[in-house]
Amino acid sequence: MTKATNLNPSKLAMVPFVSVDNMMKIVNSIGTARMIAEIADYVEADFLRWKLFDKTPRVAAHSDEGVIELMPTSDGETYGFKYVNGHPANMARGYQTVTAFGVLARVDNGYPVLFSEMTILTALRTAATSAVAAKHLAPKDAKVMGMIGNGAQCEFQALAFKEVVGIDTIRLYDIDASATQKAVRNLSNSGLNVIACKSAEEAVAGAQIVTTCTADKQYATILTDNMIGAGIHINAIGGDCPGKTELHKDILLRSDIFVEYPPQTRIEGEIQQLPDDHPLTELWKVMSGEVPGRTSDNQITLFDSVGFATEDFSALRYIHDKLDSLNHFVELDLLADPDDPRDLFGMIQRSATNPNNQMHAGQKS
């Protein structure tokens, strides 16, 4: 990242913080669809730098209620991580199913340069990544997408596919009819033809792209084999942890499967249903032109998306680059920075004897 200190080079101890309120201001300033498309450009640019990144499956702490995960990566110049949870029962208890925050830091001195909410940003980057994959894998001139699962990710996916891929019709289905009604309301001024469907089969009918984004933490069959005809692109984003899938195994056996990072996807994705030697294609190789994506009109392509750390890195990098012009952030006094780096104890003592002047080097008044 080339702008590690541009925001405030004289106050490295002060860390720009993008709150939920500030993130909403950023989204509304730019526009949701445009922002997703711009993040998609960052996501693709970083996939094209794939070999530079440190890569590891997310570090997960699983429980009966859900999962808490850390997603770290670095391009050698900047380090980033996301903290994220996934708790399917949260919605019934009045909480979000997924919440997150993230950090960017300089590799050369370890100092953070950005601390940001990532609940909203994750929704934006997930939609951006889906659309980037579909740009390379979906049928040319695809116009209709069926979406099964109309929860928090639904509208972002719809706008991403409209803006990046060019769909004009979205067919919606959720087992909870109120979720579908919510999505219809929210997309009423999107420019999309929005159709509420009464079954998953109805939502898929006539679609060239099918997106599944359900939340239940179980082996589920959201799509059965007979629902998927030749030539369809499947954007499977709901399966994202061990023991959670959405597609019947037979669909996987008929599809050409594309993934972000195989060691993580084999644990968390739809392909956990398949043997480890089943052929896969890494998405970055398609983007770089190293291997082909869609090769025929009858080919079924499947993006088995689980979310990877480089995508969060891309989204945080995008936000950091926007802060100079949008100014929607505050500065946090996050890092102790005494005048003498060896005298942390003395800084504490001085603050005790002079309680009305607790400033330390770099602290904003």
CB of 194 within 8 A of CB of 184?
A: yes
For the segment 245-272, what is each residue's pLDDT rounded down to a tens digit? 889 899 999 999 999 999 999 988 898 9
Output the pLDDT for position 216.
Answer: 63
- H-run or E-run covering 202: helix 200-204
pLDDT at 13: 73
**Angstrom distance (rounded) from CA 198 to CA 150:** 13
pLDDT at 186 over 50: yes
Residue 356 has pLDDT above 70, yes or no: no
Distance (Å, whole) CA 362 – CA 225: 60
CATH 3.40.50.620 fits 132-307, yes or no: no
Question: What is the tens place of the pLDDT at every residue in 62-72?
Answer: 898 888 999 99
- Domain range list for the chain: 14-120+311-353, 132-307
pTM: 0.91
More confident residue, 356 or 50: 50
pLDDT at 241: 67
Give the DSSP letter of residue 273. Answer: G
Q: For 131-181, what is each residue's pLDDT tens digit?
A: 999 999 999 999 999 999 999 899 999 999 999 999 999 999 999 999 999
Mean pLDDT computed over 79-107:
92
Whole-angstrom distance, CA of residue 90 vs CA of residue 97: 5
Task: Output the average pLDDT for the chain.
Answer: 90
CATH number for the region 14-120+311-353 comes to 3.30.1780.10
Q: Backbone phi, then psi, for 277, in 5-degree steps?
A: -95, 5
Alpha-carbon Rg of the chain, whole angstroms?
22
DSSP 166: -
Question: At residue 7, does pLDDT exceed 90?
Answer: no
- pLDDT-derived band at 281 (thresholds 50, 70, 90) equals very high
165: which DSSP letter?
I
Q: How far is CA 302 from CA 108, 255, 258, 283, in A?
A: 39, 6, 6, 11
**Which listed residue (240, 304, 312, 337) is catalytic?**
240
Task: Give the pLDDT of residue 365.
Answer: 30
pLDDT exceeds 90 at position 208:
yes
The yes-or-no answer on residue 240 being catalytic is yes
8 Å CB contact between 311 and 121? no
pLDDT value for 245 = 80
Residue 364 CB partners (closer than 8 Å, separation 6+): 11, 14, 331, 333
* Least confident interval from 7-11, 56-60, 112-116, 300-304: 7-11
Residue 357's pLDDT band (boundaries 50, 70, 90)? low
Q: Residue 244 gets which letter from DSSP?
A: B
Which strand (E) or helix (H) includes residue 238? none
Closest CA to 121 of 283, 302, 328: 328
